[in-house]
């Protein structure tokens, strides 16, 4: 009787394990943070936010981050190229990468899920104990107010390559304050000089 070998694509396994692993916890060994963690943004200026992963010395198969950017401004802050984040790690394939706006809740939702490419045997990914940028996005401060970056800790995950367990510690978000006056100054009008009347000549008698 012949023996059949069935190889399940690594990408499919990544999606299964990301969806079924436990949530980020204080005992996790991998860290994720947004940098800068705090920033003052002048009205009209743009700041670049980086999502940085540190796997420690562990190898991972995938990570998933779900984050929220809430705002107190009257209108949403401008996210430059606001449909996706800009990925920065070519060693990983990002199957999910999206930004959506809920204007009623006054927040953006960022979802990104990336994993190791298909290979047999799989090659784990590691940052070797250093903080490494996974993605970036830009915020432009259009109106004064406070922008807060937070995470969905129950759905943000980093899967160990050895047993698919989640090793993510609770991620660190950020607070960004947009400062300044967005009103254009009213131009000062230069008064128009009043013309001096020219006296009429006195007629000769």
The pLDDT tens digits along the chain (205 residues) read 443 322 223 343 444 344 444 666 657 899 999 999 999 999 999 999 999 999 999 999 999 999 999 999 888 888 866 688 999 999 999 999 999 999 999 999 999 999 999 887 889 999 999 999 999 999 999 999 999 999 999 999 999 999 999 999 999 999 999 998 755 444 445 555 566 665 665 555 5
CB 137 within 8 A of CB 165: no
Q: Which residues does 74 contact at the CB level (< 8 Å), separation at least 6? A: 143, 145
Beta carbons of 168 and 30 less than 8 angstroms apart: yes
The pTM of the full predicted model, rounded to 2 decimals, is 0.76
Which residues lie below 8 Å from residue 193, measured CB to CB, with a gap of 6+? none
- Tell me the HSE value of 192 on the side-chain side, using a 13 A CA sphere: 2
C-alpha 46/C-alpha 184 separation (Å) is 19
């Amino acid at each position: 009787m012949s023996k059949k070998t069935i190889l399940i694509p690594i990408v499919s396994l990544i999606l299964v394990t990301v969806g079924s692993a436990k949530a980020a916890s204080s005992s996790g060994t991998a860290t994720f943070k947004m940098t800068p963690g705090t920033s003052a943004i002048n009205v009209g200026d743009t700041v670049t936010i980086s999502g940085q992963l540190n796997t420690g010395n562990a190898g991972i198969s995938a990570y998933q981050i779900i984050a929220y950017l809430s705002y107190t401004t009257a209108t949403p802050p401008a996210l430059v190229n606001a449909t996706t984040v800009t990925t920065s790690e070519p060693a990983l394939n990002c199957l999910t990468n999206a930004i959506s706006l809920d204007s009623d809740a006054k927040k953006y939702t960022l979802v990104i899920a990336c994993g190791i490419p298909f290979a047999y045997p799989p090659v784990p990914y590691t940052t070797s104990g250093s903080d490494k940028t996974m993605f970036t996005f830009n915020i432009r401060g259009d109106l004064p107010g406070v922008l807060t970056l937070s995470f969905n800790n129950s759905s943000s995950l980093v899967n160990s390559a050895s047993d698919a367990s989640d090793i993510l510690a609770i991620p660190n978000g950020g607070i960004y304050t947009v400062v300044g006056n967005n009103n254009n100054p009213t131009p000062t009008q230069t008064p128009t000089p009043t013309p001096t009347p020219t006296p009429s000549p006195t007629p000769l008698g």
